[in-house]
Every structure is written in C-alpha cells, then in structure tokens.
A and B are shown apart, each in its own frame.
Chain A
C-alpha cells in the first residue's frame, strides 16, 4: 500500500515542478514574442524544444512509476 502511495506521490510531485519550470519558460517566451513579433516563429520552435526537454524528465519518472506499480 505504501508503494502505491509512493507511485502517486512521485507523479504528483514531478508534475508539479515540471509545470512550474514549463511555466517560467512559456512566460518568458510569450513576453519576448510580444516584444518582437517578427521572430515569433523561431522563439516558438525553440520553446517547444525546451518544453520537450523538461517534459522528458517527467516522463522518465512516469516510466519509473509504471515499473514501481507493476512490481506491487
């Protein structure tokens, strides 16, 4: 039972901090897009790349959670 708690807590914790990090990146990107609309396309591409990098850590944890869950 405690390991089930660990699975849920892991995902919630990681999702929270990943969301905070992505929010910082997206906010800054939106600011710079509003300031310089002519390079909005480049910024958007880089933003998606950066978000994917942050997302990857969450997904590593997701896989870890699945592994923990199936071991129960």
Chain B
C-alpha cells in the first residue's frame, strides 16, 4: 500500500552504484530514467487504487480511508460526550467546547447572533476536512482529499445544503427572488454562480492537497533524506488553512442567503 521506504532504499542503491562507477554521461542518463520509473511506481501507490470489490462495485482506497477517518472521529466525539458536565473538568470536553466557540465566533463575525444555529453543519465540515487532510501524516494512509471524487462530493453536498438552508430560512419565494436580485437579466448568471461555487470549492481543496502531495513525493524521490521535511511542515499548515478556507467560504455562501434581502 505504501512503498515509499522501499523506494528510498532503491534510490539510495542507485545513487551508490552511480558513485561507484563514476559519473559517466550515459549512466547518469539511465539513472535518471530509473528515477522516473521509480516516480511512476510510487505515484501508482500514492494515487487512489482499487482495494476490493463488493459485487460489481470497486471500492477504492479513498473510500476505505474516509470511513476510517469517519469512524475514528465519531468514536472520539462519542466517548467524550458520554459524560457532559456543566462545569467541564475533562480535557476532551474543554477542547470540544473551545472548538465550538471558535466556529461560533467565525459565524458571529459574518452573520451576527443568528449565525450560531449553523454551528453543527459548519463545525462538522471543518472537523471532517481537517481530519481528512491531516490523515496524510499517518503512514499508509492516502489522504482522501487528494482524490477529486471526495472534494467534489463534499463541495456539491455543501452547495446543496446551502441552497436548502436558503429555502428553509427565507421561504421558497424569497429564495427564488434572490436569483433575480440585482436585475432579472442577470438571473442566468446568478444561477450559474452556484455551479461555479461548487466547482471552485472542490477544485481548490483538490488542487492544494494534490499539489502538495506531488511536491513531497517528487522531492522524496530526488533527495530523500531531509529535503522533503520543510515542505511536509508546509503541508500541515496547508491542510489546516485549506480546511479553514473551505469552512469560511461555506459560511460566506450561507450568509449570502441568510442575510439577503
């Protein structure tokens, strides 16, 4: 599943062989070719692949990893919330309350007091995407957000939820009026905007995580020892920021409907 250590060993063997034979032009060229073959090999393992079949349906590693993350998150939150106290004493409850207050603060800065009722939805989105992004650092896990099926699923579901929130908050009449808002001529554009939102949300998450993973993979193959480390540190920050950006944009899209006229 995760053959990077073996690849590092092989690349090191290549390097030592090249050093033993002296750097001739032709050998260097074959060394480069071998490295690119390694790259292809590693990419084959790092991109989502089919794990097993349920009947005719292939189940990819993306789905397996997503379910692992979901089960772990649900289990952690389930065991923390078994014993909820008015004055929190356990560390878990304190951390969860801090997290909920953080999301509530974000919502309040955009929508005011009435934004707080979206805490469950927005908070789940943030926590889920954060866990998916940071699952990269568990050895053997391919982060599901580097598969565009995951990100587009998330973004389409989010935009659908935002539209349903709009209908629920404003009523169907006002919701449809929102599309005619600046000028009825603009209606096709404002309608298309919803698709653009979904597309850009998905592409942003996928592109950032996929690009980061590719950079680290290439660096690991070319210079395996220390060079990938700073980029991987950047990957931690990137994972957090991308989850945050997804959440922030979701909040903005909700506020478009909730605060609209």
Contact = CB atoms under 8 A, between A and B. Distances in A.
A12 interface: no
A48 B244 CA distance: 9
Contacts of B109: 42, 45
Interface stretch (A2-10, A20-28, A56-64): A56-64
Given A42-B109, A59-B208, A48 B248 contact: yes
B106 interface: yes
B203 A49 contact: no
A48 to B, nearest CB: 6
Contacts, number: 33
Interface string A4-47: 00000000000000000000000000000000000000100100
Given A45-B106, A45-B109, A48-B245, A56 B203 contact: yes
Contact of B245 (A42, A52, A58, A63): A52
Given A49-B245, A63-B207, A56 B200 contact: yes
Interface string B196-215: 00001001101110010000
B208 A45 contact: no
Given A59-B208, A62-B211, A45 B248 contact: yes
Contacts of A56: 200, 203-204
Tell me whether chain A's interface is mostly helix, strand or loop, or mixed.
helix
Nearest to A51: B245
Contact of B249 (A42, A52, A58, A60): A52
Mostly, the B contact residues are: helix
Interface residues of B, number: 15
Contacts of A49: 245, 248-249, 252
Contacts of B206: 59
B34 interface: no
Interface string B231-249: 0000000000100110011
Contacts of B245: 48-49, 52
A15 to B, nearest CB: 11
Contacts of B203: 56, 59-60, 63
A40 to B, nearest CB: 13
A55 B204 contact: yes
Nearest to B201: A56
Given A42-B109, A45-B109, A63-B203, A55 B208 contact: yes
A59 B241 contact: no
B248 A59 contact: no
Interface of A: 42, 45, 48-49, 52, 55-56, 58-60, 62-63
14 contacts: A42-B109, A45-B106, A48-B245, A48-B248, A49-B245, A49-B248, A49-B249, A49-B252, A52-B245, A52-B249, A55-B204, A56-B204, A60-B200, A60-B203
Given A48-B244, A49-B248, A59-B204, 15 more contacts: A45-B106, A45-B248, A48-B245, A48-B248, A49-B245, A49-B249, A52-B204, A56-B200, A56-B203, A59-B203, A59-B208, A60-B200, A60-B203, A62-B207, A62-B211
